[in-house]
Structure 1
Amino acid sequence: MGGSFGRVGDDGKRTSGGTALADREKGGFWVGAAAALFYPLTWMGRSVYRNAERIPRSGPALLVLNHISHLDPAVDAVFVHRNGRVPRFMAKDSLFRTPIFGKIIAGSGGIPVYRDSSDAGDSLRAAHRTLQEGKIVVIYPEGTITKDPDVWPKRPYTGVARLALENDVPVIPIARWGTHQIWNGYTKKFRPLPRKTVYHYVGEPVDLSAYRERKRDQALLREVTELIMDRVLEQLVEIRGEQPPSRHRDSAEGRA
């Protein structure tokens, strides 16, 4: 396989392709608090990054990832931070009401996602503003960790397409793998030892130019959503070295 790889050692430093501290986006007190909490969590695994240089060092971008473990936000936040940027996560609104963690995620620029409520539109409006301010937004289009027994992605929500089409910013697919082997939220198994390898593979920005002038109806949103998640899936196939089952297997799990 081609591409640029970087491995993060036990000291938390990437052995190749690192970002100089002087080039790092400044985040403030709450980002520092998040780093103090999340960096030690990532030491439970060995991190391997591929094509991390595709994350823009400045300006807005929408990072799109699959979701396999409750540990994902911590390792994804550290991955983005190690590459010089401050991630703003779209996360379920219930997380913002949790002690300590809720204050950290809100203070560091997190965007609450309201499902099936009159506030649902506020999530996207806040994400639009964040992108317009030149920041990084991280989204899990599946909305929650997949329940697929083989840990393939579930059918995604279309909010990712709305954000991608209404903001002319890089839409970057990223597959992450290995966190579920440390902490499996559905089997309740926590197995930090022996240490597992956690992968982040970054794809090329998704070219959406052919879709931007089309009528934005539900059919278009679903098509663009599937296109973006297919790019994430391509990176996941590279990591796993195996092909996923037919999408029809889990189509009943997702909604528009």
Structure 2
Amino acid sequence: MSDTQTKGQTKSSKRKGFDYLRNSIVNFPASARALYAFVFSVLHAFSSIVYPTTFRGVENLKASEDGKGAVLIMNHVSMVEPVVFIVGLWRRGIRIRPLYKIDFEKIAPARWLFRRVGGIPVDRGSADLKALKACRDALKRGEYVLVYPEGTRVKNDEQPVELHGGFAMIAQMAGANVIPCAVVGAADPYRTRRTRRRMPKMAIGKPISFDELEATDRKGRISEMERVAMNDVYTLRDELRNDYPGLW
């Protein structure tokens, strides 16, 4: 390869910039890692005062023996809980890569920031192979990927919910486990509290392995994982509701 070709490729790489989707958070450029630490430190200080959050089951996020990460799934009730969940685990040394709607990519500042804090954009209306591959690679590197199968905020128990089962396909592609999580207290649709202050309660369940499932064919295993994992999410949520009466 000639010097001219090498210089041309170098210039091309600089123009394209760093690929945040294909690299681990720990390998982000120093400037991005500094930004990441700053943003999360500010959010932690703010949320500790405004949205004090309780966690249970964090021990279930221990790294697997094969070094792979896991797909985390959770019910979605407000814009508060993704922030306090991700920041709370960051303070415990656990880095989370959340999926977010590709619509945010239309907002330049959001696109710039979300990618630098580990986010992975996904187009729910199509077979987004780029997002699937980014998630698969992140899991194989030992990172955790956060998915909200409900797809949107569920504002009350009467709201119809259409579950999106892509999380099971992502986990299967990487040979990773699925870990059900749940939240209450991040929203108050029935106005059951004396004050409007939100005090989220988070529960992290035990990992679910494809090896535990009864189905043997690929499609059957994906379908069973979707059902079993989401049942565990709602079981955890109901347990939190019982333990913290009045919180939704």
- What TM-score does the superposition give when structure 2 sets the normalisation length? 0.73
Runs (5+) with no aligned partner, structure 2: 1-24, 244-248
User: Relative to total residues, which structure has the larger strand share, 1 or 2?
Assistant: 1
Number of equivalenced pairs: 209
Superimposed CA distance per residue, residues 39-86 of structure 1 (whole angstroms, 9 cap, x where no aligned partner): 214531221111212212584122111111122221111122122111
Structure 2 CA distance for aligned equivalents of residues 223 and 153 of structure 1: 22
Structure 1 CA distance for aligned equivalents of residues 73 and 185 of structure 2: 17
> Mapping of 1:48-127 within 5 angstroms?
48-56=54-62, 59=67, 60-117=69-126, 120-127=128-135
Q: 1:33 to 1:99 in 2, by over 3 A?
A: farther
What residue is the counterpart of 1:6 in the other structure? none
Structure 1 CA distance for aligned equivalents of residues 145 and 160 of structure 2: 20
User: Relative to total residues, which structure has the larger helix share, 1 or 2?
Assistant: 2
Match status 1:145 vs 2:147? no
Runs (5+) with no aligned partner, structure 1: 1-24, 243-256
Q: 1:238 to 1:87 in 2, by over 3 A?
A: same
Pairwise CA distance, 1:164: 2.1
Pairwise CA distance, 1:167: 2.3
Q: Matched residues, percent identical?
A: 26
Superimposed CA distance per residue, residues 142-188 of structure 1 (whole angstroms, 9 cap, x where no aligned partner): 111124x327893421111102222233321110111123xx7xx9x
What residue is the counterpart of 1:168 in the other structure? 175
Q: Which amino acid aligns with 1:229?
A: M
Superimposed CA distance per residue, residues 62-114 of structure 1 (whole angstroms, 9 cap, x where no aligned partner): 21111111222211111221221111111101223335343221112211111
Structure 2 CA distance for aligned equivalents of residues 55 and 220 of structure 1: 22
What residue is the counterpart of 1:8 in the other structure? none
Q: 1:139 to 1:82 in 2, by over 3 A?
A: same
> Mapping of 1:174-213 within 5 angstroms?
174-181=181-188, 194-211=196-213
Structure 2 CA distance for aligned equivalents of residues 57 and 223 of structure 1: 24
Q: 1:212 to 1:91 in 2, by over 3 A?
A: farther
Structure 2 residue aligned with 1:35, among 37, 40, 57?
40
Q: Which amino acid aligns with 1:223?
A: E
Q: 1:100 to 1:114 in 2, by over 3 A?
A: same
What residue is the counterpart of 1:240 in the other structure? 241
Match status 1:129 vs 2:137? yes
- What TM-score does the superposition give when structure 1 sets the normalisation length? 0.71
Structure 2 CA distance for aligned equivalents of residues 194 and 210 of structure 1: 42
RMSD in angstroms over aligned alpha carbons?
A: 3.0
Structure 2 CA distance for aligned equivalents of residues 114 and 221 of structure 1: 20
Pairwise CA distance, 1:137: 0.9
